[in-house]
Amino acid sequence: MPTIVNGGMWIQKQKRVKNSAMAETFIIQPGGKLTGTLKVPGDKSISHRAIMLGAIAEGTTKIYGFLEAEDTLATLAAFKAMGVRIDRPATGEVIIRGAGKRGLQEPASELYLGNSGTSMRLLSGLLAGQLFDVVLTGDASLSRRPMQRVTEPLATMGAKIECDKEGTPPVRIQGGHPLKGITYDLPIPSAQVKSALLLAGLYAEGETRINEKGVLRDHTERMLEAFGYPVEYGKGHARLVGGGELQAQSITVPGDISSATFFIIGACIAEGSDLILENVGMNPTRDGVIRILRRMGAKIEILREYRAGNEPVADLRIQPSPLKGIVIPEEYVPLAIDEFPAIFIAAACAEGTTVLRGASEMRVKESDRIHVMQQGLAALNVDAKALPDGMVITGGGVQSGTIDSQGDHRIAMAFAMAGLRAKGEIHILNCENVKTSFPEFVDLASESGLKIKTAS
């Protein structure tokens, strides 16, 4: 099988026009199969956190496998604007000369975070305890996303923080207000809210404890531990005591399972596929897509398991197999919340009916993913019924059609993989934001066997 490696195929634009038109269209010819060995880009969630903790640590942090995409580069640019010395000697490598917890400087202007909800929510927590004022802004999509879920508990800790009356960005933080630790019961299962409060807790007096509903991503806790900061997590809660310091580390970022998901599902549904994905992060709070697909009958083999820092990693081999519709267990929902657009494509190609409930969080992502996916599936003649908190999909294959991704990167990539089983050509509109998380997607997908091209 040919080898496909994650090389320097994409050059990041250093300056992008804010709120630029999402004009790129994916054109997918029907058929094809996915073969070869490839590495998906570094995990976005871990890349964000490595920059944030490295910036406030003591000493020099080196990051390998960093995801060079618009969202993570927005985080990097924000810390540069706050005086942190950051170098990028090679693709995927970042060197951060940590400023320490109190070494950040007031930025000269607003911190523009593009489309990155992770950047805005986590920075809201980290900056709530600083001595300077700061305003966090984003593009048109990010400016519609809910932020009160973060600002309200931070205000309870003593932060002077607010967003617009609609509960959306910009987020305005007034510095110099001392924080106190709180015990907070998460009303919704959100790892970003949990992480924001833990980061604020680094600057707070006393203990900060977050009680979770269900199982949430624990990347922040694992990375705090890697930077030598005492944190207790698991069994439905996370807690730490403020006042400690972080020590610089060498961090290796595993491949992003969310990015791998598109290729996993493509290989599951396309006859003749035989695909190996190397270095995929297998954090147990993120592996819901593997659990769900295996329940549907997917043939996913774990070839090698190892660890990168505090994170479990594996190589995967995926071959096609007949998929059957299932009722997705609700306990799997937080383990696969970002992967459901692609899982819906698998459901459309499966035999029988797939039912998802308990996923209302999908409605407040980069788009209302339940609505946009239902509209896209309907355009491909798939029987899909939107529910307030999920979807009912009756499988049987997909036809040709035109889909508007609404600028949502995960929806664009999910429907691209649908072309492997489509009866005709698929056009996917507004795909520009794929660059926010997976800038190499078109190149890797094309080289592995998807019949994809782009047009403006």
Residue with token string 């607010």: 162
The DSSP symbol for 21 reads -
338 annotated active-site = yes
Single-letter amino acid, residue 332: Y
Single-letter amino acid, residue 63: I
For every residue of 53-68, DSSP letters joined together read HHHHSBSEEEEES---
Nearest to 34 by CA among 337, 446, 326, 455: 446
For every residue of 100-139, DSSP letters joined together read -TT-----SS-EE-TT-HHHHHHHHHHHTTSSS-EEEE--
3-state helix, strand, coil in the chain (%, to 5): 30, 25, 40
CA distance 233 to 226: 13
Nearest to 28 by CA among 395, 456, 420: 420
User: Tokens representing 280?
Assistant: 């995929």
Single-letter amino acid, residue 367: S
Partners of residue 108 on adjacent β-strands = none
What angle do helix axes 257-269 and 340-348 make, rounded to 10 degrees?
A: 0
Please report the sign of the dihedral spanned by the C-alpha atoms of residue 18, residue 21, residue 24, residue 25: positive
Of the residues 218, 256, 315, 338, only one is catalytic, namely 338
Question: Is 409:434 a contact under the CB 8 Å cutoff?
Answer: yes
| DSSP H helical ranges for 188-305 | 191-201, 219-226, 257-269, 288-295
Partners of residue 239 on adjacent β-strands = 209, 232
Q: Catalytic residue numbers?
A: 338
